[in-house]
Amino acid sequence: MTLFASVELAPRDPILGLNEAFNADTRATKVNLGVGVYFTDEGKIPLLRAVQAAEQARLEAAAPRGYLPIEGIAAYDKAVQELLFGKDSALLAEGRVVTAQALGGTGALKIGADFIKRLVPDATVAISDPSWENHRALFESAGFPVVNYSYYDAASHGVNFDGMLASLDALPAKSVVVLHACCHNPTGVDLTTEQWKQVVAVCQEKGLIPFLDMAYQGFSDGIDEDGAAVRLFAESGQSFFVSSSFSKSFSLYGERVGAISIVTQNKDESARVLSQVKRVIRTNYSNPPTHGGTVVATVLNSPELRAQWEEELGEMRDRIKLMRTQLVDKLAAAGAGDFTFVKEQRGMFSYSGLTAAQVEVLRAEHGIYAVSTGRICVAALNSRNIDAVAGAIAAVLK
Ligand code: PMP
């Protein structure tokens, strides 16, 4: 018996599997709407001008590459806090937020999960139904049982809000509730401010542990607008977690730039929590990499580069909205029916309502790749492929 003889082949990641199939497809007209990446109208992943300027400055400075502190670059952590909570946040002034640089949003979630496991070992984790495909696996691998709370309502293309409240209300105290702070992945369907207020109240009444996942700040309505849910939780006085990511908002996917922020009750708690978070990080990867964090901190702390970044972020946001509007109009013109709901959805994704069978026909007959749940990445549409996509969807629905 060899050491690895009993190792089973793990199931393929569904989205990466889709990419492999897409790459192997030889049709020139193929379109990949399966990915979770923003593309320009030319079909490229942008390298933002603000990022290029910060990288240029860094190269010229020829800075040595010593180890960073375990919690990362101080100027980066502070900039993250200000984006999430607002520059004038009372919590920041009171020293009630602990932030550590992390390896993307995924790394941030894992640091938070590992810390909570030590703090509340018997906790259950609740994620939305449906949720980002890695939430369940990530919290399960951190040792938690993971359950779903009601979220998406296919019939209305909206939120089953009564169902959601009922699910949250039924959770035992100290359950972790993972909430998409904006631009829900995969549905694109977000809560209203009024609904957020009610969710904040249930979490508080029931003594739940809110864990806000902020992977798309700036992709819905703007930086501060998209921070609204985080700020409502902040105002409520509860302790909670926020994982955040710059993968999309800075188009820095491969640099792995994110952060975990934890809201405590006072400065003293913050010091103790930070010391434990540092232990989690130290035993996982010791300290974060320098490049992405330096670039983001440089951009966010320079008034000129920050203004440029906000402009570029606005361009990405506007292009996505334009693609939503055009898709809806073109689908209507092609006789595919009323897809107005796609305009109400937020962020990069849309639950199109297509069934797994229809998605398969789209792929086989038209070379258009979407996730079997019907999720399409609106940020992969462009002026050259949108007519073909709308035509193909209309054909599949006929
Ligand atoms: N959370 C959600 C909801 C996401 O959609 C993603 C990435 N697509 C992440 C977390 C992970 O972000 P990152 O790529 O920065 O690890």
**Span from the CA of 374 to the centroid of ligand 1 (angstroms):** 19
**Span from the CA of 280 to the centroid of ligand 1 (angstroms):** 20
Distance CA 290, CA 133 (A): 28
* Ligand 1 neighbours by CB, cut-off 6 Å: 36, 104-106, 132, 180, 185, 213, 215, 245, 247, 258
Average pLDDT score over residue span 138-146: 98
pLDDT of residue 17: 85
Q: Look up residue 152 and give its amino acid.
A: Y
> DSSP character for 233?
H
Which residue's alpha carbon is at the smallest distance from atom 12 of ligand 1?
Answer: 105
Nearest atom in ligand 1 to the alpha carbon of residue 247 is 15
pLDDT of residue 11: 86
**Span from the CA of 243 to the centroid of ligand 1 (angstroms):** 9
pLDDT tens-digit map of 208-223: 999 999 999 999 999 9
pLDDT tens-digit map of 70-90: 999 999 999 999 999 999 999
How does the average pLDDT of the chain come out, rounded?
A: 97
Percent of the chain with pLDDT over 90: 97
Contact 379, 320 (CB under 8 A): yes
Nearest atom in ligand 1 to the alpha carbon of residue 183 is 3
Nearest atom in ligand 1 to the alpha carbon of residue 257 is 15
Average pLDDT score over residue span 108-134: 97
Is 90 exceeded by the pLDDT of residue 398?
Answer: no
Structure tokens at 157: 């293309």
pLDDT tens-digit map of 165-180: 999 999 999 999 999 9
Give the residue from 233, 195, 226, 192 showing the smallest Cα distance to 347.
Answer: 226
Q: Which of 110, 117, 248, 330 is catalytic?
A: 248
- Inter-CA distances, 116 with 69, 85, 113, 170, 240, Å: 22, 22, 5, 20, 11
**Span from the CA of 104 to the centroid of ligand 1 (angstroms):** 7
pLDDT of residue 16: 81
Is 90 exceeded by the pLDDT of residue 13?
Answer: no
Residues ≥6 apart with Cβ < 8 Å to 296 = 54, 76, 79, 246, 250, 252, 257
Contact 154, 122 (CB under 8 A): no
Structure tokens at 396: 């599949």
Distance CA 221, CA 344 (A): 12
**Span from the CA of 106 to the centroid of ligand 1 (angstroms):** 6
Nearest atom in ligand 1 to the alpha carbon of residue 103 is 16
132: annotated active-site residue: yes
Out of 15, 139, 185, give the residue to mutate to test ligand 1, the one with the largest number of ligand atoms within 8 Å of its CB: 185
pLDDT of residue 329: 97
Using CA atoms of 359, 365, 368, 371 in order, give the dihedral in degrees to the nearest 10. Answer: 20
Q: Which of 77, 190, 213, 226 is catalytic?
A: 213
Average pLDDT score over residue span 33-55: 97
Contact 252, 51 (CB under 8 A): yes
Average pLDDT score over residue span 174-189: 97
Distance CA 221, CA 203 (A): 25
309: annotated active-site residue: no
- ipTM, 2 dp: 0.99
pLDDT tens-digit map of 301-327: 999 999 999 999 999 999 999 999 999
Out of 106, 257, 296, give the residue to mutate to test ligand 1, the one with the largest number of ligand atoms within 8 Å of its CB: 106
30: annotated active-site residue: no
Average pLDDT score over residue span 340-354: 96
Nearest atom in ligand 1 to the alpha carbon of residue 246 is 15
Is 90 exceeded by the pLDDT of residue 92?
Answer: yes
Which residue's alpha carbon is at the smallest distance from atom 7 of ligand 1?
Answer: 215
Other CB atoms within 10 Å distance of the CB of residue 284: 13
Out of 151, 213, 217, 246, give the residue to mutate to test ligand 1, the one with the largest number of ligand atoms within 8 Å of its CB: 213
- Rounded to 5°, the CA angle 268-282-90 comes to 30
Residues ≥6 apart with Cβ < 8 Å to 370 = 33, 34, 352, 354, 359, 362, 363, 376
Is 90 exceeded by the pLDDT of residue 336?
Answer: yes
Which residue's alpha carbon is at the smallest distance from atom 6 of ligand 1?
Answer: 215
Average pLDDT score over residue span 332-358: 95
Is 90 exceeded by the pLDDT of residue 349?
Answer: yes
pLDDT of residue 110: 98
**Span from the CA of 105 to the centroid of ligand 1 (angstroms):** 5
Is 90 exceeded by the pLDDT of residue 112?
Answer: yes
Phi first, then psi: give them for residue 145, nearest 5 degrees.
-75, 140
Structure tokens at 94: 């009171």
pLDDT tens-digit map of 201-210: 999 999 999 9
Partners of 125 in beta bridges? 146, 176
CA dihedral sign of residues 68, 260, 37, 372: positive
Q: Which of 117, 132, 309, 330 is catalytic?
A: 132
Partners of 178 in beta bridges? 211
The length of the chain in residues reads 398
Which residue's alpha carbon is at the smallest distance from atom 8 of ligand 1?
Answer: 36
Three-class DSSP category at 381: coil
Sorting pLDDT into bands at 50, 70 and 90, what band is 132?
very high
274's enclosing H/E stretch is: helix 267-284
Average pLDDT score over residue span 345-353: 96
Residues ≥6 apart with Cβ < 8 Å to 338 = 332
**Span from the CA of 219 to the centroid of ligand 1 (angstroms):** 13
Structure tokens at 337: 């029916």
152's enclosing H/E stretch is: strand 152-153
**Span from the CA of 255 to the centroid of ligand 1 (angstroms):** 13
Which residue's alpha carbon is at the smallest distance from atom 1 of ligand 1?
Answer: 215
Distance CA 329, CA 110 (A): 41
Helix axes 228-236, 193-206, angle to 10 degrees: 40
pLDDT of residue 15: 81
Distance CA 232, CA 254 (A): 31
Sorting pLDDT into bands at 50, 70 and 90, what band is 58?
very high
